[in-house]
Structure 1
Amino acid sequence: MAGFSNYFVVEFIGAVFALICAAYIYLKYVAYKYWSWKNIDFAKPVVPLGNLWPVVSVSTSIGELFRDIYLEFRKSRVVGVYMFHKPALVVNDPDVIRFILTKQFANFHDRGVYCNEKVDPLSGHLFSIPGAKWKFLRTKFSPTFTSSKMKQMFFTVQECSEKMVEFVSPLAKNRELIEVKDLVARFSTDVIASVAFGVQCNSIENPNAEFRSYGRKVFRPKPWINIVGLLAPSLLNVFSISSVDADVEKFFLSAFMETVEYRTANKVARKDFLDLIIQLMNKGYIENDDKKLSQLSEFDSQKITALEGAAQAFVFWLAGFETSSSTVTNCLYELALHQDIQDKVAEEANRVLGESGGMSYNGVKEMRYLYKVVSETLRKYPAVPILNRECTAEIDLPETGLHVEKGTAIIVPVYGLHNDPEIYPDPEKFDPERFTEENIAGRHPYAYLPFGEGPRNCIGMRFGLVQTQVALASLLSKYRFMPGPDFKVPMVLDRGNVGVSPAGGMTLRIELR
Structure 2
Amino acid sequence: MAIFGNYLFEFSCIVVSIVFGLYLYVKYVAFNYWSSKNIPHPKPAVPFGSLGPVTRGKRSMGEMIADVYSEYKKNPVIGIYTLTSPALIIAKPDLIRFVLTKEFAHFHDRGVYCNEKIDPLSGHLFALPGAKWKYLRTKFTPTFTASKMKQMFFTVKETSVILAASVEQSARKSEIIEVKELMARFTTDVIASVAFGINCNSLENPDAEFRTMGRKIFEPRLVKRILGFLLPSVLQFFKIPIIDETISKFFIRAFREAVEYRTANNIVRKDFLDSVIQLMNKGYVQNDDDKSSVPAKELDDQKITLLQGAAQAFVFWIGGFDTSSSTITFCLYEMALNLDIQDRLAEEINQVLEEYRGVTYESIKAMPYLHKVVSETLRKYPVIPMLNRECEEDIELPETGLRVEKGTGILIPVLGLHSDPDLYPEPEKFDPERFNEENIAKRHPYAYLPFGEGPRNCIGMRFGLLQTKVGIVSLLSKYRFTPSPDLKPIVMDTANFLQVPLHGVSLRVQMR
Check whether TM > 0.5: yes
* Equivalent position of 1:325 in the other structure: 325
Correspondence 1:107-126 to 2 at 5 A:
107-126=106-125
| Deviation (angstroms), 1:241 | 1.6
Residue type matched to 1:414 in 2? V
* Equivalent position of 1:391 in the other structure: 391
Distance 1:7 1:139 in 2: 65
Residue type matched to 1:400 in 2? T
Correspondence 1:178-197 to 2 at 5 A:
178-197=177-196
Residue type matched to 2:124 in 1? H
* Equivalent position of 1:495 in the other structure: 494
**1:439 equivalent in alignment to 2:426:** no
> Any conservation in 1 of the 2:70–2:420 contact (CA below 8 Å)?
yes
Residue type matched to 2:441 in 1? A
| Deviation (angstroms), 1:253 | 0.6
* Equivalent position of 1:66 in the other structure: 65
Decide whether aligned partners of structure 1 residues 486 and 10 sit closer, same or farther in structure 2, where only a CA change above 3 A counts. Answer: farther
Residue type matched to 1:408 in 2? T
SS of the residue corresponding to residue 396 of structure 2 reads strand
> Any conservation in 1 of the 2:284–2:294 contact (CA below 8 Å)?
no
**1:100 equivalent in alignment to 2:111:** no
| Deviation (angstroms), 1:501 | 2.4
| Deviation (angstroms), 1:255 | 0.2
Distance 1:11 1:315 in 2: 52
Decide whether aligned partners of structure 1 residues 291 and 406 sit closer, same or farther in structure 2, where only a CA change above 3 A counts. Answer: farther
Residue type matched to 2:395 in 1? I
Correspondence 1:271-310 to 2 at 5 A:
271-290=270-289, 292=291, 296=295, 300-301=299-300, 302-310=302-310
* Equivalent position of 2:50 in the other structure: 51
| Deviation (angstroms), 1:299 | 5.2
- What per-residue deviation string (whole Å, max 9, x for no partner) do you get for residues 454-496 of structure 1? 000000000000000000011011111111232113x222212
Alignment root-mean-square deviation, CA = 1.2
Distance 2:384 2:105 in 1: 23
| Deviation (angstroms), 1:6 | 2.5
| Deviation (angstroms), 1:151 | 0.4
Distance 2:396 2:359 in 1: 50
**498-507 or 287-296: which moved more?**
287-296
* Equivalent position of 1:340 in the other structure: 340
SS of the residue corresponding to residue 72 of structure 1 reads helix
* Equivalent position of 1:511 in the other structure: 510
Decide whether aligned partners of structure 1 residues 451 and 76 sit closer, same or farther in structure 2, where only a CA change above 3 A counts. Answer: same
**8-17 or 233-242: which moved more?**
8-17
SS of the residue corresponding to residue 54 of structure 2 reads helix
> Any conservation in 1 of the 2:114–2:127 contact (CA below 8 Å)?
yes
Distance 1:169 1:470 in 2: 17
Residue type matched to 1:458 in 2? C
SS of the residue corresponding to residue 68 of structure 1 reads helix
Distance 2:11 2:176 in 1: 60
| Deviation (angstroms), 1:504 | 1.2
| Deviation (angstroms), 1:291 | 7.1
* Equivalent position of 1:85 in the other structure: 84
Distance 1:59 1:441 in 2: 37
| Deviation (angstroms), 1:4 | 3.1
Decide whether aligned partners of structure 1 residues 476 and 258 sit closer, same or farther in structure 2, where only a CA change above 3 A counts. Answer: same
Give the TM-score normalised by the residue count of structure 2.
0.98
Distance 1:119 1:373 in 2: 42
Distance 1:385 1:44 in 2: 23
| Deviation (angstroms), 1:43 | 1.6
SS of the residue corresponding to residue 345 of structure 1 reads helix
SS of the residue corresponding to residue 332 of structure 1 reads helix
**296-305 or 350-359: which moved more?**
296-305
Distance 1:11 1:299 in 2: 66
Decide whether aligned partners of structure 1 residues 398 and 470 sit closer, same or farther in structure 2, where only a CA change above 3 A counts. Answer: same
SS of the residue corresponding to residue 411 of structure 2 reads strand
SS of the residue corresponding to residue 86 of structure 2 reads strand
Distance 1:375 1:15 in 2: 58
Distance 1:15 1:172 in 2: 69
Distance 2:168 2:288 in 1: 42
- What per-residue deviation string (whole Å, max 9, x for no partner) do you get for residues 109-141 of structure 1? 000111111121100000010010000000000
Residue type matched to 1:431 in 2? D
Distance 1:137 1:389 in 2: 18
> Any conservation in 1 of the 2:192–2:200 contact (CA below 8 Å)?
yes
Distance 1:102 1:40 in 2: 23
Decide whether aligned partners of structure 1 residues 298 and 406 sit closer, same or farther in structure 2, where only a CA change above 3 A counts. Answer: farther
- What per-residue deviation string (whole Å, max 9, x for no partner) do you get for residues 340-371 of structure 1? 00101111111111111111111101111011
Residue type matched to 2:361 in 1? Y
| Deviation (angstroms), 1:413 | 0.4
**404-413 or 478-487: which moved more?**
478-487
Distance 1:368 1:297 in 2: 43
* Equivalent position of 1:264 in the other structure: 263
* Equivalent position of 1:476 in the other structure: 476
**1:248 equivalent in alignment to 2:279:** no
Distance 1:422 1:300 in 2: 51
**1:147 equivalent in alignment to 2:146:** yes
Distance 1:128 1:364 in 2: 32
Residue type matched to 2:139 in 1? K
* Equivalent position of 2:374 in the other structure: 374
- What per-residue deviation string (whole Å, max 9, x for no partner) do you get for residues 216-247 of structure 1? 00012222222221122112212222111111
Residue type matched to 1:173 in 2? R
Residue type matched to 1:86 in 2? S
* Equivalent position of 2:424 in the other structure: 424
Distance 2:494 2:268 in 1: 42
Distance 1:295 1:126 in 2: 21
SS of the residue corresponding to residue 481 of structure 1 reads strand
Residue type matched to 1:331 in 2? C
* Equivalent position of 1:215 in the other structure: 214
Distance 1:290 1:111 in 2: 36
Decide whether aligned partners of structure 1 residues 509 and 104 sit closer, same or farther in structure 2, where only a CA change above 3 A counts. Answer: same
SS of the residue corresponding to residue 510 of structure 1 reads strand
Decide whether aligned partners of structure 1 residues 128 and 299 sit closer, same or farther in structure 2, where only a CA change above 3 A counts. Answer: farther
> Any conservation in 1 of the 2:278–2:285 contact (CA below 8 Å)?
yes
- What per-residue deviation string (whole Å, max 9, x for no partner) do you get for residues 30-58 of structure 1? 00000111111112111111101101110
Give the TM-score normalised by the residue count of structure 1.
0.98
Correspondence 1:456-467 to 2 at 5 A:
456-467=456-467
Distance 1:368 1:299 in 2: 43
Residue type matched to 1:192 in 2? I
**11-20 or 317-326: which moved more?**
11-20
* Equivalent position of 2:28 in the other structure: 29
* Equivalent position of 2:238 in the other structure: 239
- What per-residue deviation string (whole Å, max 9, x for no partner) do you get for residues 256-292 of structure 1? 0111111112221111100100000011001124574
In structure 2, the gaps of 5 or more residues are: none
> Any conservation in 1 of the 2:382–2:414 contact (CA below 8 Å)?
yes
Residue type matched to 2:429 in 1? K
Residue type matched to 1:307 in 2? L
- What per-residue deviation string (whole Å, max 9, x for no partner) do you get for residues 278-330 of structure 1? 00001100112457468626555511111100000000000001110000001
